[in-house]
């Protein structure tokens, strides 16, 4: 089996293509009402990755200021042509971390959720898998992230 990374992805019209260079830090399946509305589906799948590990292969996403649950807003990187959302930057982690929409990866099946969050507002017909952590709302990274992801995040936040 070939290594899944780097893995390419992109928007629907193919004007924007990118490569995710390594495995993500952690993958959220978010059942909050905000993600539901933004995705138009039952939940959002976001792979958190250092933004500098996303390489643009073609196109240039437009960053659209969008409200967020925290009130601090997010910037959603969208294809300037078809407007598909590719990733977000949230106020908390800033521009250094991208919340990549897993469904835009060419091999999304290789990037399953590490945790289900905001399950308190999960749609009742969504059945959660056994063996994957699930929390009613949010969580502390040190309680769930693998040590190497915590170390990666620490290095990232210490960098200028
Ligand atoms: Zn497009
Ligand atoms: Zn959410």
**CATH for 149:** 3.90.1590.10
- Mean pLDDT of the 28-43 span: 97
Q: Which listed ligand is nearest to 41 at the C-alpha?
A: 2
β-bridge partners, 99: 48, 88
Q: How far apart are CA 104 and CA 107, in angstroms?
A: 9
Q: What secondary structure does DSSP assign to 16-79, as a single string?
A: -EEEE-S--SEEEEE--HHHHHHHTSS-EEEEEEEGGGEEEEE---EEEEE--TTSS-EEEEE-
Q: Report if residue 29 sits inside a domain.
A: yes
pLDDT tens figures, 88-122: 999 888 999 999 999 999 999 999 999 999 999 99
Q: Report if residue 69 sits inside a domain.
A: yes
Q: Please give the pLDDT value at position 92.
A: 83
Q: Report if residue 46 sits inside a domain.
A: yes
Q: Which residues surround ligand 1, an ion (CB under 5 A)?
A: 11, 13, 15, 79, 81-82
Q: How far apart are CA 73 and CA 96, in angstroms?
A: 16
Q: State the CB neighbour count (10 A cutoff) for residue 14.
A: 12
Nearest to 117 by CA among 20, 39, 33, 24: 33
Domain count across the chain: 1
Q: Which listed ligand is nearest to 119 at the C-alpha?
A: 2
Give residues with Cβ within 8 angstroms of 158, minimum separation 6: none
In the reported structure, the alpha carbon of residue 81 is separated from the centroid of ligand 2 by a whole-number distance in angstroms of: 25
In the reported structure, the alpha carbon of residue 47 is separated from the centroid of ligand 1 by a whole-number distance in angstroms of: 20
pTM: 0.95
In the reported structure, the alpha carbon of residue 8 is separated from the centroid of ligand 1 by a whole-number distance in angstroms of: 14
Q: How far apart are CA 42 and CA 127, in angstroms?
A: 11
Q: Are strands 115-117 and 26-30 parallel, antiparallel or unpaired?
A: parallel
Q: Report if residue 2 sits inside a domain.
A: no
- Mean pLDDT of the 66-79 span: 94
In the reported structure, the alpha carbon of residue 133 is separated from the centroid of ligand 1 by a whole-number distance in angstroms of: 34
Q: Report if residue 1 sits inside a domain.
A: no
Of the chain, the percentage scoring pLDDT greater than 90 comes to: 93
Q: Which listed ligand is nearest to 138 at the C-alpha?
A: 2
Q: Please give the pLDDT value at position 2.
A: 60
Q: Please give the pLDDT value at position 37.
A: 96
């Amino acid at each position: 089996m070939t290594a899944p990374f780097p893995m390419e992805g992109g928007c629907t019209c193919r004007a924007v293509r990118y490569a995710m260079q390594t495995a993500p830090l952690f993958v959220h399946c978010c059942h909050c009402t905000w993600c539901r509305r933004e995705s138009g589906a039952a939940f959002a799948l976001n792979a958190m990755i250092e933004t500098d590990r996303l390489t643009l292969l073609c196109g240039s996403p437009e960053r659209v200021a969008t409200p967020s649950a925290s009130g601090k807003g997010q910037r959603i990187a969208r294809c300037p042509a078809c407007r598909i959302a590719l990733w977000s930057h949230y106020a908390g982690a800033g521009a250094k971390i991208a919340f990549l929409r897993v469904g835009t990866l060419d091999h999304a099946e290789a990037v399953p959720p590490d945790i289900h969050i905001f399950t308190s507002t999960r749609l009742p017909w969504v059945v959660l898998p056994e063996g994957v952590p699930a929390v009613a709302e949010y969580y502390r990274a040190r309680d769930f992230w693998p040590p190497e992801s915590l170390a990666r995040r620490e290095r990232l936040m210490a960098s200028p």
